[in-house]
Amino acid sequence: MPIAAPPAELDPSTLPPYAVALKESVAYLPPEQRARVMQAFAVGAKAHAGQERRSGEPYITHPVSVAIILAGLGMDAETIVAALLHDTLEDTPLTRAELAAEFGEVVAELVDGVTKLDKMRFGTRQEADAESFRKMLLAMARDIRVILIKLADRLHNMRTLGAKDLPARRRIARETLEIYGPIAQRLGMNKFRTELQDLGFRMLYPDRYRVISERIRAALGNRREAMAKIRAALAERLGAEHIECRVVGRIKSPWSIYSKMRNEHLTFAQLMDVYGFRVVVDSVVNCYVALGVVHALYKPVDRRFKDFIAIPKANGYQSLHTVLLGPFGAPIEIQIRTTEMDSVAESGIAAHWAYKTDSGPANNAQARARAWLSSLVDSQVNTTSSAEFIENVKIDLFPDEVYVFTPRGDIFALPRNATVLDLAYAVHTDVGDHAVAARVDKKLTPLRARLESGQMVEIITAPSAVPNPSWLEAVVTGKARTAIRQHLKHLQHEDAVDFGHRMLDRALDLRGFSIDGISPEVLDRYLASIKYRRLEELLADIALGNRMPDRVAAQLLQARGKQAGDTPQAPHANENIRITGAERGVLSFANCCHPLPGDDIVGYLSPGKGIVVHRTECPNVAELAKMPERRVGIEWDREVRGDYRARLRVEVANHPGVLATVAAAIAAADSNIDNVEYVERDPTAATLMFSMEVKDRKHLADVIRRVRRTGVVSAVHRYPM
């Protein structure tokens, strides 16, 4: 489709009202940039000619409305042009190359990024198209204007959502509340966030929205006179102190009220900050002076003061918050901020926009957004699973935060319920990997302890400490999860390579050779023939049961061929591979027989799982013996680590307190009970099945002896026998 619609062709007298509104909205741009915007309008109108929205309006009214929303934020010409053309690649014959030729590569890149985002369809958080969302966030990291255009696009769609059918309205409203509202909040765009969430709330829960809105109107009607008096008193007292200020009343949004009532289990009457006032002054110093003035006017409520100027929120928001006991006995919230802070609070990264390069200046919200996006890029590099990446992003979008200090005075903002481990990884990955404990306000504290705002936290590390799988249950931040998983995967790979090496060496040894006797050239040729880049990959696959060591050994020797001077060594006795039980990701212990250190054991390779360990007397071994190629000779090492699962079948007299008696005996033997169930029960006797953790066979024997001594047991034995 040729692009030819110079701005001179646009006769102002024939422009439709929406085009006139567009022209007026970009009056802040220089003349040549305004001409470029109107050129984009002409191209978009021509491309969308004949297309209509569900409401019956020409389709071009939608991109024009998106552009006007962004112009209201003072965005640059490239963003406005991209907004006018954001649906052309998907819905019209226009190509990316044509856009780039006419409007430049930057505009084409923005339109392309928004187009990819438009193709996403979210059901619920769990059903999100993770890979598309991941691509969008990375495009957003390259140029944050992509998400600004998309947020404006979503805002206009929400304003006109009534034209859609009910299922579509509910789906779009849900994804707005779950995805786009939190993103707007994370980018500090309060005005967008509030409207998106309230529109989504009204569409998804119309009855709840109506009830809360009516309660707000009724309460406002009752308090209108009181609020006017408080506002006048605040303005008069601040004026008496020669503080130039603007005092405005504020009402919490319906969605915000509903969320707080639901999350904190409060009634509408119990909310303390439905109404409040915003005091906007000219400097940071006057923020604190104004705070003293309002505290002198009305008594502050204890523990309801927050200083977000000294410690800004993660999205760059800055303000002083305090709750005062008003003259009529009702608490009122006061927010005190500068004009600059007020602008950033409303528009976030879009405040005072002049598109910032990495080297250019940026406001607090822009700098923090860039840091967040940079952390997303780092996270996705170390995260192979898109679903895991999206899980980390959603954690970062969580709105509530705690703020803690390090001994050096650094401030860290973490999600609610963050632990010492989360802080350790926020400081540095190496600090997290080697953390052992912490001093919180100078008191020794474990790594799993949850943090509270205002605490001073010192992380204690040890060179020998390493992450363990249980840490994943103790962290909430995406960075900590990614780092722990990455470390565990690395350890698992190392164990798999080591175990695979031992298995292949054993298979070669049975043929009178060793892996060291095979030349690098033969190994490289063999690896290339089976499409492996490195020997370590093959060894790990052997340990994980994806390749049989005997077959690999035979193929290696075949590839090696007969060589001069070959005299195969006599094979060693059929030696077993010794295990410690700590071979992560390589070994698993069969649930049918629960092998323990001290048992005679045998291993069988299971594709993808590695070696599954059974007791030699396990009933299933007879069936597994029909696949000798999968058998792995193993035995316990002299030093074995960890706890192992065991099951006891206990026959007892059926009378009150017997369960507690047996459980106490098991606990006295230093065994942890995982589960207990009644297998059989009648008026005189009962059979109990205990699942527990023990160190080894000897430890289990000690447990059994203690249980027998209780005097309430008629029989006890390991299950299965």
Instruction: Show which residues are catalytic.
Output: 90-91
Q: What angle do CA 222, 223, 228 make, to 5 degrees?
A: 140
Identity of the residue numbered 18: Y
Q: How far is CA 244 from CA 227, 231, 234, 339, 669, in A?
A: 21, 15, 12, 11, 74
Terminal C-alpha separation, the chain: 79
Q: Is 675 helix (H, G, I), strand (E, B) or coil?
A: strand
Q: Which two tokens stand for residue 69?
A: 């929303």
**570 and 477 Cβ atoms separated by less than 8 Å:** no
**499 and 632 Cβ atoms separated by less than 8 Å:** no
Q: Which long-range contacts (CB under 8 A, 24 or more apart) does 122-128 make?
A: 122/171, 122/174, 122/175, 122/178, 122/179, 123/171, 123/175, 124/174, 124/178, 125/178, 125/179, 125/394, 128/179, 128/390
Q: How far is CA 170 from CA 66, 129, 162, 178, in A?
A: 22, 18, 11, 12
Residue 701 falls in which region: left (phi positive, over 0), alpha (psi -120 to 50) or beta: alpha
Q: What is the distance of C-alpha 547 from the center of its chain?
A: 35
Q: Is 126 helix (H, G, I), strand (E, B) or coil?
A: coil
Angstrom distance (rounded) from CA 344 to CA 363: 8
Angstrom distance (rounded) from CA 381 to CA 71: 35
Question: Dmax of the chain from CA atoms?
Answer: 106
Identity of the residue numbered 653: A
Q: Which two tokens stand for residue 214?
A: 């009516």
Q: What SS3 string covers 47-81?
A: HCCCCECCCCCECCHHHHHHHHHHHCCCCCHHHHH
DSSP, residue by residue, 414-464: EETT-BHHHHHHHH-HHHHHTEEEEEETTEEE-TTPBP-TT-BEEEEE-TT
Q: Which two tokens stand for residue 326?
A: 């008003």
Angstrom distance (rounded) from CA 24 to CA 685: 88
Nearest CA to 536 among 548, 517, 523?
Answer: 523
